[in-house]
Structure 1
Amino acid sequence: MALDDVDAGFRRGTMTAVMGPSGSGKSTLLHCAAGLDRPTSGRVLLGGTDLSRMSEKQLTELRRDRVGFVFQAFNLVGALTVEQNILLPSRLSGRKPDPAWVAEVVERVGLVRRLRHRPSELSGGQQQRAAIARALATRPEVIFCDEPTGALDTQTAAEVLELLRAVVDESGQTVIMVTHDPVAASYADRVMVFADGRIVQDMPQPGVRRIAEQLAALGRRRPVAAREG
């Protein structure tokens, strides 16, 4: 069972890090919360909207208008330039983007000189930055991130995390981020630790040291086969 009786709420205007071993249910939680997957039981609410009652068309429109998602595999459109990828959600929704905000996002992810390039011409880290810029460009209510700094060098990762932190603090947006990195998790207001589809720790602003200690303790309690699965 990917998620086992999970009951979690995320306050508007906060940043939450979701951690745990591989196979613990982290990405499934993100996919269900974003309306990408349907849970076999229970409900998913975005504000007052019950996603379980929506059609596929309605879910598509909700994700386009209210949700940003940064995929671990980037999911950029290869035939489009970086700039076109970043503006694609706005184009699909028919809404004019805020040029000043888009320019700020592009600058902060370090892609000003790469806007005319296609994804195949970028490094993995640059593709991840383009995916992050695309997710932020429309100012969505909630931004879901699956390992957003996994392909980035230390300096760029810090800049991306500061940008995610800023959209929470300055714009009141909500960020839910899956990560294996205690340093990345330390930027969050709250850290949830998963194991075997359940929440085993829910810590407010624990700091890098406590996060690392909790993950190490969890690893010691789990059998080797389970850790490797």
Structure 2
Amino acid sequence: METKAPERATAAVPAVRMSSVTKVYGSGDRAVTALDGVTIDLPRGGFTAVMGPSGSGKSTFLHCAAGLDRPTSGSVLLGGTELSTLDEKRLTAVRRDRIGFVFQAYNLVPSLTVEQNIRLPLLLGAGAPDPAWPPHVVERVGLADRLGHRPAQLSGGQQQRVAIARALITRPDVVLADEPTGALDSRTGRQVLELLRDIVDGTGQTVLMVTHDPLAASYADQVVFLRDGGLAGSLADPSPEAIAERMAQWGEW
């Protein structure tokens, strides 16, 4: 008998809960601890930025939160769903339906139109939350007049908007963004960050973003700092200056 799909979280449940998460790559003398006992709740409807020096565990943090990597120990809950207990088939379905991904590389399909790229998760089997949501997403990201274009006909900022719209199309529990402005010029990068901020404020979406840029991180509600695989503090309502000051305390990033 097929197991019932996990229910999405209610507002009272954190979007992501990581409890004593440790991730070790390799074994013996070659073992590397990428995350070391990380415990954190990411609130629903919030915008959290993750920062840290190179090798601090930022990418592993994001991958464990997304179910792309299984922790060596500890637990990761997406809403009320324990990701480590799911087999690969169900984990793939959860990632498709309940997690949106935005990367530095846009990962658009060049032969598809903007509309087709945005709707790709739906074409691959994910269910839209309601018929009105996809048009709302398109309008929100400012692409209503570009739906028939192909990626090569768009600027970098417009392509990243397509990627953001694709990440939102299933109205996921959380959108995970890995250096989403890293390939953009400063002006276009600010526009994309303003869009992410607007999506959080306007739709109640949850965003978790990894970045090395203090200005980008200042768009978040809070910044979480990682160092040597562990949590090293946080800042609420961060300013670029406060973030840069914290970074300077740890030397070269």
TM-score range, shorter chain: 0.7 to 0.9
1:98-118 residue CA offsets vs partner (Å, 9 max, x unmatched): 676444544554544543343
1:78-136 residue CA offsets vs partner (Å, 9 max, x unmatched): 33222211101122235357676444544554544543343355454443222112112
Match of 2:221 in 1: 189
Contact 2:223 2:235 (C-alpha < 8 Å) held by counterparts:
yes
1:39-85 residue CA offsets vs partner (Å, 9 max, x unmatched): 12211111111000001111111111111111222222333222211
Match of 1:16 in 2: 48
Q: What amino acid does structure 2 have at the position aligned with 1:131?
A: A
Aligned length: 221
Of 56, 61, 65, the match for 1:29: 61
Q: More relative contact order in 1 or in 2 (CA 8 Å, sep 6+)?
A: 1
- The structure with the largest helix share of the pair is 1
Contact 2:121 2:166 (C-alpha < 8 Å) held by counterparts:
yes
Of 152, 161, 170, the match for 2:202: 170
Rounded Cα–Cα distance in structure 1 between residues aligned with 2:157 and 2:233: 30
Rounded Cα–Cα distance in structure 2 between residues aligned with 1:59 and 1:44: 12
Rounded Cα–Cα distance in structure 1 between residues aligned with 2:213 and 2:41: 22
Match of 2:235 in 1: 203
- The structure with the largest strand share of the pair is 2
Counterparts of 1:139-158 in structure 2, within 5 Å, are 139-158=171-190
Match of 1:223 in 2: none
Once superposed, what is the RMSD of the aligned Cα atoms? 2.2
Provide structure 2 residue ranges, at least 5 long, that are not aligned to the other structure: 1-32
Change (3 A) 1:95 1:218: same
Q: What amino acid does structure 1 have at the position aligned with 2:113?
A: T
TM-score (norm 2): 0.78
Contact 1:109 1:159 (C-alpha < 8 Å) held by counterparts:
no
Q: What amino acid does structure 2 have at the position aligned with 1:153?
A: D
Provide structure 1 residue ranges, at least 5 long, that are not aligned to the other structure: 221-226
Secondary structure of 1:3's aligned partner: strand
Of 53, 75, 78, the match for 2:107: 75
Comparing 111-120 with 146-155, greater Cα deviation is found at: 111-120
| Aligned-pair CA distance for 1:187 | 1.3
Rounded Cα–Cα distance in structure 1 between residues aligned with 2:129 and 2:117: 13
Contact 1:108 1:160 (C-alpha < 8 Å) held by counterparts:
no
Secondary structure of 1:43's aligned partner: strand
Match of 1:88 in 2: 120
Of 71, 80, 89, the match for 1:48: 80
TM-score (norm 1): 0.85
